[in-house]
Amino acid sequence: MTERPQHAPFPCRGTPDGSADQLATQLIRLVRLVSRVKSRITKVGPEGLESAAYAILFHLIDKGPQRASHLAEVLHSDISTISRQSSTLVDHGLVERQADPEDGRASLLAVTQEGLRIFEANRRARNEWLEQVLSAWTDADRIALNSLLSQLNNHIETCGPLADRTGKGECT
């Protein structure tokens, strides 16, 4: 009879130890849970609109009109994917194409009033859900979570693969 290999305990079980393995497991779990929640609460808006298209909407609201090529770069997506998603946003009246003032041959994507309305409705739904999730948390715990997530995101953006085009950015 062959013995079965022993596996390490599942990293998210047990007492948190600060290991990268536990953190990775919890981040994967978080991303999956948020994705599931997003698919259930991002219902405000036209039928057939991919949830990924909301990332385009958010970026345009946050940063202003952009070229599709720039969106592809900052959203780490294929230009063909951005083109398809932005065309759907245009078709639904959530985004419009505008002439690029710096290059008349190019166009910028800009959010419409309807796009802003849909975005804000989804934002309210998301925030109501998060308020329920965090209702028992103290203000200090909420502040600590926001601070640590901000710190983690800043380091992800500036350390390793996202730090520079070579993917070998120095962590500080």
Q: In this predicted structure, what is the pLDDT of residue 1?
A: 52
Q: In this predicted structure, what is the pLDDT of residue 47?
A: 67
Do 29 and 12 contact (CB within 8 A), yes or no? Answer: yes
Same domain flag for 130 and 54: yes
Is the pTM for the entire model greater than 0.85? no
Same domain flag for 150 and 110: no
pLDDT tens digits, residue range 1-42?
555 445 555 555 667 788 899 999 999 999 999 888 877 777
**Mean of the pLDDT values across residues 46-65?**
85
Q: In this predicted structure, what is the pLDDT of residue 167?
A: 54
Angle at 60 between CA 144 and CA 98, to 5 degrees: 170
For the cut 80, the answer to whether the pLDDT of residue 148 exceeds it is yes
Domains: count for the chain: 2
Same domain flag for 149 and 74: no
Same domain flag for 117 and 77: yes
| Domain contains 52 | yes
- Structural domain including 146 reads 137-172
Q: In this predicted structure, what is the pLDDT of residue 5?
A: 47
